[in-house]
Structure 1
Amino acid sequence: MKRIFLAGLFVSSLCFVEPAYADLQATITARQKVFGVEHIDPKTGDLPKDKVLFSWISNSTFAAAIEGRIIYLDTYVTRLEVESGRTPIVIKDMVDLAPQSILLGHGHGDHADNAAYIAGKTGARIYATAETCGVMVQDLQRMQNDPAIMNDAVAKLDSSAKIDCVSVTSAGSTPGTEILQLDVLEPNACVIAFRHLHSVAVPPDTSFPPTPVKIILDPRDAELFPKGVALTPDEKAPSPATGQMNLETAGKPGGGESLFFSFILRSGSHFSFVWHNSAGALKEGKGQGWDGTPEDGRRIVAILKALPPTDLHMGTASSGNFTNNGLRDLIQYQEALKPKIYIPNHLTTGTATREASSMSVYAGYLKQLDLMNMPREQRPVVRWLIDPTDYLKPIVFDTADAIWENPKKAGLIDHLCKQPGGEVHFD
């Protein structure tokens, strides 16, 4: 579905110098909406320096505040209404939040839509694959040539705006062979990223039966969104309605080339988390666009095991392999990472997991853990997300809490996190 939004919702002039919003009150309001009034300084818009906060925007998209530094993990919004609705956020909120950076797990539209527009408005730096960086440049140029955007006095982009995009991996690279330390959150946190595998269907794994889960959609949808009431304009119409604009991404080439991100704070108890919006077939070493071998999967598993101990795993619950192998691939990522806590993503769009099917997937996840005989003591604490109940509900972690302490962390920071912008070597 084409992502088309109402430009007329902008009510104040959008002008950025650095990735910091010039309209302070608009930024404060947006941050209070996304991260909670209790976490925002009402005069400055600042966030706590001793906490990490996440706010689920939908699908695999989160706004994150890491010791006061705001980033987006993906930028797509499921059913982004022209006014606040099921997904209680509009594009103005995403711009007003004034993110410093945007991290894209991969370039498909259900992850990267809106990214070029937000970056063009805010100056936020994008971190993506080389292929997706190229597409982001094309997306911004298209939008700068779109009359529906440029003729709107408030929503228009600056004609001189450019995309600042860091290529985490080179074009056509082999998964797991290029590992980069990003400067995105320095000096607060070390961020390590590498290409892994996008989900793909592989033959059923005979080592355990498939997950017996029936996806049940939310029966409220018929009442919440009656048939015939469009949430977006008819994409087959010859032109968008007055005041509306198209913020989708072209998504090609390289849309399926996926990145895995690992974060560890340099201060406090060294809170750590990982985020990825797809999960490939590690056992077979295959992913969308990568017809690999088990060796490719083993290479990625070795990296996952070598990363700093993982406190929080934010990983996809949707997979192109769901029909054949359930949530096997996700759990094999967890077997390597051994996280303390699991928060799912990719719950509102994608293969098998659509809007309001969250609890069905949760049941499947728990059953899959049993089928794969994961010991109870190794299973993460689950903080499941439900659409639309959990949108924009702050998830807060105290970075000084002793629960995150692990003697391995400080040593790994010194060993792995030596050169922001440079390659990481596990030896």
Structure 2
Amino acid sequence: MCRRVVLTLSVLLVVAGLAVPQASTARADSALVAARSAVFGADNVDQTTGAVRDDRVLFSWFGVSSFAVAMAGKVFLTDAWVPNAYRGHVPTTRAQIAAIKPSHILIGHGHFDHAADAVDIARASGARLVGSASHCAFFHRSAPRVACDVVAAAGARPGSTRPYRGIPGIAVTAMSNIHSTLKAPEGEHPPLLPIPPSDRLVTNPPHADELGRLAGHLDDPEGGAVLYAFEVGGRRIVWNDSVGPVSQVPGGRAILATLRDLGPVDLHVGSIQGFNEITNGLGDPLRYIDALRPKVFVPNHHDDWFPVIATPAVNRERAFFDALATIDARPEVRYLRDPQDYLRPDRVTLELR
């Protein structure tokens, strides 16, 4: 009798013990489903498990060059900063981006408008950071326990490449890129002078809390620049957050040669803003597009991401299409506009073969 009671109690305790992790898992799945549905769209997310559909590529923009990406069901980020100096300008937060549980955060370069939230999101989500040796060294100084994989060695030559095998099922190639730089006028493209800032300075003034948080990141080092190419499901995709003056610097020809080798691509998600536009217009991004020969081009780094130094995407739209008309092989363009195209993965969707 005593033994039966003990066995019965033991079984009840085991069952009770098993029930707790199941409830915890259910709550975790619910949070994952909610976060991923908000970022990738409910139609693209399994409402029980939170898995993102594996038959397509999705890029969901959350400002500047930062995208939540799902490729063949794998979820990761390219860059990591939610630019909400204007309160609520981007309809998401660092916490929500972390809650989608990205496996990796691929860093193009280390300036605050690309990586200010990288460590916080990595800590909260468990994601691995990926970038140059300089990026990883910088991140480790502030967060020693955050994992960071080096894909561009210190002193890597512009245009040199390295494979990255950290994301199962996706072939990733990292190319050592160069940051935008102001150069003397060549006369090939008209200057794109700074455009007056948006009226958000008046209608939605920057809030002090966010500006104060960013103050500690304004001097974050570039740490080199990296361009990422992906092959998955019969598709070739390139993302970059900086366009260097490849026609005007040593190493520029090597970059163009590598870009031609990487192309033609199905999708190119590329920066169209840089310091050199003040003297040479949009010539730099056009050279990247021309070398990669994409079927579809999606611009980034062209939104109203910071007071005074940025402007809404619509204010440079005409200049971009006028410049694009000067190259022979023009891609289909899915021009993203802020804020209406933030968290709109339907705007950048590619079916896998």
Q: TM-score scaled by structure 2?
A: 0.85
Given candidates 364, 385, 388, the residue that maps to 2:339 is 388
Q: Determine if the alignment matches structure 1 residue 200 to structure 2 residue 181.
A: yes
101, 105, 116: which one aligns with 1:102: 105
Q: Does 1:262 align with 2:229?
A: yes
**Residue 215 of structure 1: how far off its partner (Å):** 2.2
Deviation at 1:232, TM superposition (A): 2.2
Q: Which residue of 1 aligns with 2:245?
A: 281
- 1:369 correspondence with 2:324: yes
On the 8 A contact 2:297/2:331 being kept in 1, the answer is yes
Aligned to 2:172: 191
Residue by residue, what CA displacement relative to the aligned partner does 1:227-259 show, whole Å, maximum 9, x if unpaired?
Answer: xx7252663xxxxxxxxx779658655x15100
The answer to whether the 8 Å contact 2:65/2:241 transfers is yes
**Structure 1 residue 219: Cα displacement:** 3.2
8 A contact 1:72–1:103 mirrored in 2: yes
1:39 aligns with 2:19: no
2:195 maps to a residue whose letter is: I
Matches within 5 A, 1:349-360: 349=305, 354-356=310-312, 358-360=313-315
| 1:377-424 alpha-carbon deviations (Å, 9 max, x no partner) | x11111111111111111321112xxxxxxxxxxxxxxxxxxxxxxxx
C-alpha change, 1:57 and 1:117, in structure 2 (3 Å) is: same
| Partner SS for 2:143 | helix
Q: Secondary structure at the match of 2:46?
A: coil
**1:1-400 equivalence runs, <5 A:** 23-79=28-84, 85-140=88-143, 162-177=145-160, 179-187=161-169, 189-206=170-187, 208-211=188-191, 215-219=195-199, 222-223=202-203, 225-226=204-205, 230=207, 232=209, 235=212, 249=217, 252-253=220-221, 255-265=222-232, 267=233, 270-285=234-249, 293=250, 296-348=251-303, 349=305, 354-356=310-312, 358-370=313-325, 373-375=326-328, 378-394=329-345, 395-400=348-353
Quick one: which amino acid aligns to residue 383 of structure 1? Answer: R
In structure 1, the residue corresponding to 2:62 is in which secondary structure? strand
Amino-acid identity (%) = 31
How far did 1:350 drift? 7.4
With the length of structure 1 as denominator, give the TM-score of the two structures: 0.71
- Give the AA of the match of 1:387: D
Q: Deviations over 1:82-129 (max 9, x none)?
A: xx7211111210111100000000111111111112112222111100
Structure 2 residue identity aligned to 1:62: F
Q: Structure 1 unaligned runs (5+)?
A: 1-19, 142-161, 236-244, 286-292, 401-427
Q: Is the 8 A contact 1:139 1:249 kept in 2?
A: no
Task: Please state whether the residue corresponding to 1:168 is helix, strand or coil.
Answer: strand
Partner of 1:174, secondary structure, is: coil
- Structure 2 stretches of 5 or more lacking a match? 1-24
Equivalent pairs counted in the alignment come to: 326
Q: How far has the Cα of 1:369 moved from its partner?
A: 2.7
Measure, in 1, the Cα distance between the counterparts of 2:210 and 2:168: 42
Distance 1:97 1:282 in 2: 36
Instruction: Give 2:9's aligned residue.
Output: none
Q: Hey, what's the Cα distance between the residues in 2 that align with 1:362 and 1:369?
A: 11
The one-letter code matched in structure 2 to 1:222 is V
Structure 1 or 2, whichever has the larger Rg, is: 2
| 8 Å CA contact retained: 1:80, 1:90 | no
Q: SS at 2:81's partner residue? A: coil
**Bigger helix share:** 2
CA distance in 2, matches of 1:258, 1:120: 23
Q: 1:117 and 1:220, CA in 2 relative to 1: closer, same or farther beyond 3 A?
A: closer
Structure 2: distance between partners of 1:107 and 1:75: 10
Partners of 2:124 and 2:100 in 1: CA distance: 11
CA distance in 1, matches of 2:26, 2:146: 17
Quick one: distance in 2 between partners of 1:250 and 1:172? 24
How far has the Cα of 1:355 moved from its partner?
3.8
Would the aligned equivalents of 1:176 and 1:303 in 2 still touch at CA under 8 Å? yes
